[in-house]
Amino acid sequence: MTKDEALFEFLLRTGDNGLVLAQRLGEWCGHAHQLESDIALTNVALDNIGQARMALTEAGKVEGKGRSEDDLAFHRTEMEFRNNLLLEQENGDFAQTITRQFLFDVFQFELLSGLKSSSNEFLQSFAIKSLKEVTYHRSLSSDWMVRLGDGTELSHDKMQNALNLLWQYTGELFEKTEADDILIADGVIPDLEKLKESWDDIVGQVIKEATLEIPDTKGFMATGSRRGEHTEFLGYILAEMQYLPRTMPEAKW
């Protein structure tokens, strides 16, 4: 595997994470329990779309086959998507959406903090720009974790159930492939093992403050996205997202 191939894989993963999460958050538009939350979730979606566009555009350049951000977003199949399984999981109720968001925001915050000193110029600028936005996302989702976890009996149970469901998808965030090894060795991306230590630390603190408990998955963690093996949900997301450009490839606004 060449360095460019490794970088392409990482950029796809980063772009796909943003794109799939944004698609999920967009489903809340007009449906959240209060106007402020509705607006917040769609704002977070918008930031993620912006970040995904930058990452996918750069991925196309690095790949060198003339693929644009739109080609990559709309003309790949699920097996070609590299987003983490966590992000394609269903919105469920607000507790589930917020828990998914929180687990990812802490990851993304730590990843971008590491990428600020990347040896790759694009990733460095991308990280500095995106970190400003993700700081607000992380603050939003952490606040809700604590408010609902340490809330009523009902809200507490809903948050714990969400955590029990989603925890199995967190191990995969830190999985290393050949591409990661190449990029870590070159100082392009931070070491994912070190990242996991800070993630464990921060996630643990918030979960404790939220009076929730980290579920015992008995060592089981779902895996697959690094090889393009996804849960059943991604196909439905792509079917909806890709329908128009695939039906009418020349369609323009």
Partner 1 sequence: MTEEADIYELLEAVKDPEIPVLSVVDLGIVRKVDWISPKKLKITITPTYSGCPAMDTIEREISEILQSKGFEVEVVTSISEAWTTDWISEKGRKNLEEYGIAPPAEATTDKSFITGNSKNVHCPRCKSEETSLISQFGSTACKALYKCDSCHETFDYFKCI
| Closest CB 199 distance from partner 1, rounded Å | 19
DSSP run (H or E) holding 25: helix 3-26
Instruction: Tally Cβ neighbours within 10 Å of residue 243.
Output: 11
96 vs 130, beta carbon nearer partner 1 = 130
CB 102 within 8 A of CB 142: yes
In the set 1, 39, 154, 185, which binds partner 1 (CB under 8 A)? 39
In the set 27, 32, 46, 61, which binds partner 1 (CB under 8 A)? 46
48 vs 84, beta carbon nearer partner 1 = 48
216 vs 251, beta carbon nearer partner 1 = 251
154 lies in the binding site for partner 1 (CB under 8 A): no
In the set 133, 195, 212, 222, which binds partner 1 (CB under 8 A)? 133
Q: What are the residues whose beta carbons fall under 8 Å from the beta carbon of 118, sequence distance 6 or more?
A: 124, 127, 187, 188, 189
1 lies in the binding site for partner 1 (CB under 8 A): no
Q: Write the DSSP string, 90-134.
A: ---SHHHHHHHHHHHHHHHHHHHHHHTT-SSHHHHHHHHHHHHHH
Q: How many residues bind partner 1 (CB under 8 A)?
A: 26
In the set 26, 27, 32, 50, which binds partner 1 (CB under 8 A)? 50
Angstrom CA distances, 215 to 76, 87, 163, 170, 204, stand at: 35, 19, 7, 12, 11
In the set 36, 216, 232, 250, which binds partner 1 (CB under 8 A)? 36
**C-alpha–C-alpha distance, residues 152 and 95, integer Å:** 13
Distance between start and end Cα atoms, the chain:
39
Q: Select from 9-17, 88-96, 119-127, 178-186 the region that touches partner 1 (CB under 8 A).
A: 119-127
**C-alpha–C-alpha distance, residues 207 and 211, integer Å:** 6
**C-alpha–C-alpha distance, residues 38 and 56, integer Å:** 27
113 lies in the binding site for partner 1 (CB under 8 A): no
| Closest CB 153 distance from partner 1, rounded Å | 26
48 lies in the binding site for partner 1 (CB under 8 A): yes
In the set 8, 10, 28, 126, which binds partner 1 (CB under 8 A)? 126
Would you tell me which residues interact with partner 1 (CB under 8 A)? 36, 39-40, 43-44, 46-51, 53-54, 121, 124-126, 128-130, 132-133, 135-136, 139-140
